[in-house]
Amino acid sequence: MPIIEYDSISFTYPNGTDALFDVNLAINEKDIVAIVGQNGGGKTTLVKMTNGLLHPTKGSVRLFGEDIANTSTAKISHKVGFVFQNPRTQLFLNSVEAEVSFGPKRLKMPSEEIDVRVTDAIEMVGLQKKRSQHPYDLTAPERKLLTIASIISMNPQILILDEPSGGMDAVSMDLVAHVIMTYRNAGKTVITISHDMDFVARCFDRVVVIKQGRLMRDGPVHEVFSDHKLLQETNLEPTAIGQLSAACGFPHSIISVPEMVSYIEAK
């Protein structure tokens, strides 16, 4: 059974802007899903309905089989962790440790468990040497990693990352990939919104394409990224390796460096 169901979702903002049109989408337990599309296409609007930050104008959202129309965001946050695109909207305490321990304390976990979770989350994002630092003394990538740590310390079943690669360097992206892999190995669900097709190809199995509020495609990452006509129609670029592969006359299904190396070696 799907753990998230968007059933005929439409959404109109108070100013009259239509953001989503009759979207039907199911996300299953253990899915590692990327939602892609151009700015203003409705991606963030859709995922904000997962934890009750927004409610559909039409249609319904079910979480673990239950309609969440009358469920508070605070209650949903026990199960759904949402990492916002801009760390400034999420960081408000005076140290790394305080930020990461805030959520577990709000959930009233035992102090011993809080200590373990905080330590594990901080280490997972590589900030163990900066536990006592003020968040705004960190670099921009480190602040983003801190927002991820502050959510994973609560161990939600579903982790949502809004544009996690924005403003990040290669080392930071390796740490984000490590978090996603850890969630994958634990049998949890990860959803990302991203414009970074190389990041999506590296870390995600399934891609949902949204254009101007409508769901255009939902399928395996190779199937979606191999469809260059679809990518062109939705103003998305293929991965860097996908573009190189096409220029060389190689199969469009090649979207990563290991795949290209394997293809060349086999020729």
CA 122 to chain centre: 19
Task: Indicate whether 145 pLDDT > 80.
Answer: yes
Cα angle at 161 between 159 and 164, to 5 degrees?
A: 145
Task: Indicate whether 224 pLDDT > 90.
Answer: yes
Question: Tell me, what amino acid is at 212?
Answer: Q
Compute the average pLDDT of residues 111-120. Answer: 95
Of the pLDDT bands very low, low, confident and very high (cuts 50, 70, 90), residue 94 is: very high
Structure token pair of residue 79 = 């199960």
pLDDT at 110: 94
The better pLDDT of the pair 76, 1 is held by 76
pLDDT at 257: 83
